[in-house]
Chain A
Amino acid sequence: MHKIISLLSIIALVVLMGVGCLEIKTSPEEAPIAVPSDEVKAPTPEDIGEEDIFEDEEEDGVSELDVLVEEVETIEAEAEVLFKDFKNIDTSQDDNLNL
């Protein structure tokens, strides 16, 4: 019996936390700039199933070309995040106040 009540209590807790979280709404005015996450990383060639075509060329098994491809993917991902920030700037915050 106690186990059932404990289980029901835990379910109730999860529901309550969910409701609590839903209440947290940040208005666009309050969150004008999304700081890009440090965790944004481009997929590696292995992730997207590409061959490491010149793997025997260098000691560490990674060719200059592979490094460049990876760099481009990283830059592209970063640029994407920055562009999103740029588009999300809430210009309505500069509407005249008329107090």
Chain B
Amino acid sequence: MFKKSLIIVTIIGLVSCVALPAMAQEIASDKEAIQEYIESKFETAKIAILKTLGKNMIERRINALTYAKDLLDNARLVADDVKQVLGDELDDTIVSLKALKDDIEEEESLEPLKQKVESIVTSFRVYLVQLPKAHGLAVVSHYRTMSVKLDEIIEKLGDKMDELGYDSEDANALIDEAKELISSASLNLDKAEGKLGQMDIDWPSQASTLSLEAREFILNAKGDLRDAFTKLKEAIAKIAAAQDEEDEE
């Protein structure tokens, strides 16, 4: 029994020490591959490294784009035309990247191979333009949905107050403040959408700035909506207290 447990412990220990770091090794970064490419003195080795690098870069981009496309498809409150154009762009990029992957696999000369691998970045700008655009619009859509739901809460609160014959300055003030915050959030979301819409593959240097600006507007909208929600919950609590009092009477 003791020997068996010792063997099991040893095996599992070896797996931890050897296999897990080996798995981590598999997830080598592009930078390491590029370093290896630079240090390699043989053309055949350079070609092999570039092919692996290109394949990994493309697969990672396709996975990220597929996920972004899915997000965009599920973003209910993004304008249909924006959704259509960006969705088509993402689909086209996926198709082009797949074709480039085949092309890279078949290429046997170093110089053209270098250019093809470099074009994975320069021709698509997946991480600089396409993904931030799709993700940003999905976030905007979610906050717009939140805004619509908060409007519905305001409407229901009004109905409830009418039903109870409850008219409180405090509750009304909270609801008015919430309305203002929702309007402010809506403006911020419009601005964010505008910035995201301006991002273009042909203007990669602008993309980072536009993405950061969009982020700031989303952050403002997020704060506005959170504050509006807090105020509405306070109003709900006040109305609930009023209803309790009425029930007691």
Contact = CB atoms under 8 A, between A and B. Distances in A.
Q: Do A and B bind each other?
A: yes
Interface residues of B, number: 71
A23 B22 CA distance: 9
Nearest to A99: B114
Contacts, number: 168
A85 B135 contact: yes
B149 A75 contact: yes
A26 B132 CA distance: 21
Interface residues of A, number: 53
A5 B149 contact: no
Interface in B23-78: 23-24, 27, 29-31, 34, 37, 50, 57, 60, 63-64, 67-68, 71
B139 A82 contact: yes
Nearest to A80: B222
14 contacts: A17-B16, A25-B24, A29-B30, A53-B237, A68-B153, A75-B149, A86-B132, A91-B127, A91-B128, A91-B207, A91-B211, A94-B125, A97-B117, A97-B118
Interface of A: 2, 5-6, 9-10, 12-13, 16-17, 19-21, 23-27, 29-30, 32-33, 35, 50-51, 53-54, 64-65, 68-69, 71-72, 75-76, 78-80, 82-83, 85-87, 89-99
